[in-house]
């Protein structure tokens, strides 16, 4: 089937794991801070604001694509819905643009989630952001939830009144990279925020009616600050009580400033087991909140450590203790399986077939790579990012 000329719209490089099924729309380019020592994403790329006219044109481009999809749907008796047959036809079409394919996939899923890129689009003028959000809601009726990244400093500058207006215009959720509640760790990684600023920002976001996801980075303080990192992060989270706490365990990327700190001996990286113990201390120290904790990233060793406070706290601690109490040989095999994408839970290690496959993989990798298994697992972690 032939498709007509399709307008284009711009998309940025990343989105949170929980936004995997979302339509990506770029309101700003790159990161206005771009100094966090652990982040490689925007290094060397200047921040820029897209004009409101550009953003509205991108939204109109998505609306035009959806209109064409609805037309094709009506031709096959879909009554305006986007059936799987229409989506598959677009995906296999040689003249359909990549953007058109993404819109077709998004519409076919029926979830209606949109993620606004890049790293901190709340930095836009409030009136422009409100205009863009309202136009998005009007022009694309399929939209059910709109989300973006935000920096704590920007949330504080916006203030409660502006955040409430932005929420009413159509923004539902913000993802904030808190990383740590320790001022010492935040300074170490050049986060450009303080614990107090994180508390102020988080409380403002919650008060405004926005759903708040706070990202925490276990291991970020190294051995030198591990205990402080866990305890201070819990203290800050207890004051905010965000709807979501999302764990994203540290993986040092070669070429980042943090990698230089590690090479210089200023930061001693935690082992996987030490990171698990740090997460245990964090969870143990979370009190008086109703947050949902999620381990929704491949770098988290224990995906099963998730649940809602306070009712699931004990279960999460038991999952961690169940792993830590395993023999070292079991933990090594599990880490191999997890980093290699073969396992999602520790219990799967008790499957004789999977265990046999992992033991065979261990022997083959050690033989072919000429490295010990610890080094191989470390390399797999970097490749999995």
pLDDT in tens, 277-326: 999 999 999 999 999 999 988 889 999 999 999 999 999 999 999 999 99
Q: What is the mean pLDDT of residues 329-340?
A: 91
Same domain, 172 and 197: yes
Instruction: From residue 109, give the alpha-carbon distance in Å to each of 22, 26, 83, 87, 104.
Output: 9, 21, 9, 10, 9
Which CATH number fits the domain that encloses residue 279? Answer: 3.20.20.70
Same domain, 192 and 297: yes
Q: Is residue 234 part of a domain?
A: yes
Tell me what pLDDT residue 1 has.
52
pLDDT in tens, 177-222: 999 999 999 999 999 999 999 999 999 999 999 999 999 999 999 9
Same domain, 14 and 51: yes
Same domain, 244 and 368: no
Q: Which residues contact 88 (CB under 8 A, 6 or more apart)?
A: none
Instruction: From residue 144, give the alpha-carbon distance in Å to each of 70, 113, 136, 137.
Output: 18, 6, 11, 9
75 vs 382: which has the higher pLDDT: 75
Q: Is residue 128 part of a domain?
A: no
Tell me what pLDDT residue 385 has.
38
Q: How many domains does the chain have?
A: 3
How far is residue 360's CA from residue 365's CA, in Å, rounded to a whole number?
9
User: Which structural domain, as residue segments, surrounds residue 28?
Assistant: 1-110
Sheet with 211-216: list strands edge to edge: 23-26, 113-117, 145-150, 173-179, 211-216, 244-247, 292-294, 307-308
Same domain, 219 and 238: yes
Question: Is the distance from CB of 48 to CB of 28 less than 8 angstroms?
Answer: yes
Q: Is residue 252 part of a domain?
A: yes
pTM given for the model: 0.92
pLDDT in tens, 57-114: 999 999 999 998 988 878 776 676 788 888 898 898 888 888 999 999 999 988 999 9
Q: Is residue 359 part of a domain?
A: yes
């Amino acid at each position: 089937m032939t498709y007509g000329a399709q307008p284009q719209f711009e998309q940025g490089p990343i989105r949170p794991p929980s936004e995997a099924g979302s339509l990506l729309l770029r309101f700003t380019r790159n990161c206005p801070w771009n100094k966090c020592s652990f982040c490689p994403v925007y290094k060397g790329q200047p921040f820029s604001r897209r004009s409101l006219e550009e953003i509205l044109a991108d939204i109109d481009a998505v609306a035009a694509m959806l209109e064409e999809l609805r037309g094709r749907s009506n031709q096959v008796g879909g009554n305006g819905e986007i059936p799987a047959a229409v989506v598959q036809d677009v995906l296999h079409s040689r003249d359909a643009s990549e953007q058109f394919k993404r819109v077709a996939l998004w519409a076919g899923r029926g979830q209606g989630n949109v993620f606004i890129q890049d790293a901190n689009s709340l930095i836009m003028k409030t009136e422009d952001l409100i205009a863009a959000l309202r136009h998005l809601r009007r022009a694309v009726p399929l939209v059910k939830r709109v989300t973006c990244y935000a920096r704590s400093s920007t949330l504080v500058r916006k203030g409660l009144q502006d955040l409430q207006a932005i929420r009413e215009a159509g923004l539902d959720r913000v993802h904030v990279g808190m990383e740590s509640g320790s001022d010492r760790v935040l300074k170490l990684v050049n986060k450009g925020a303080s614990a107090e600023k994180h508390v102020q920002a988080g409380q403002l976001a919650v008060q405004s009616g926005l759903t708040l996801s706070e990202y925490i980075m276990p291991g970020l303080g190294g051995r030198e600050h591990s205990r402080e990192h866990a305890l201070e992060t819990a203290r800050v989270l207890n004051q905010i009580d965000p709807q979501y706490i999302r764990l994203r365990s540290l993986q040092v990327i070669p070429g980042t400033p943090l990698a230089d700190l590690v090479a210089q001996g200023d930061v001693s990286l935690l082992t996987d087991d030490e990171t698990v113990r740090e997460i245990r201390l964090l969870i143990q120290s979370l009190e008086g909140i109703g947050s949902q904790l999620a381990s929704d990233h491949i770098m988290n060793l224990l995906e099963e450590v998730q649940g809602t406070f306070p009712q699931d706290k004990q279960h999460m601690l038991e999952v961690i203790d169940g792993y830590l109490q395993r023999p070292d040989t079991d933990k090594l095999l599990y880490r191999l399986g997890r980093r290699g994408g073969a396992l999602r839970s520790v219990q799967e290690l008790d499957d004789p077939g999977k265990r046999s496959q992992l033991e065979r993989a261990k022997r083959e990798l050690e033989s072919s790579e000429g490295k010990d298994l610890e080094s191989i697992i470390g390399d797999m972690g970097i490749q999995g990012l």
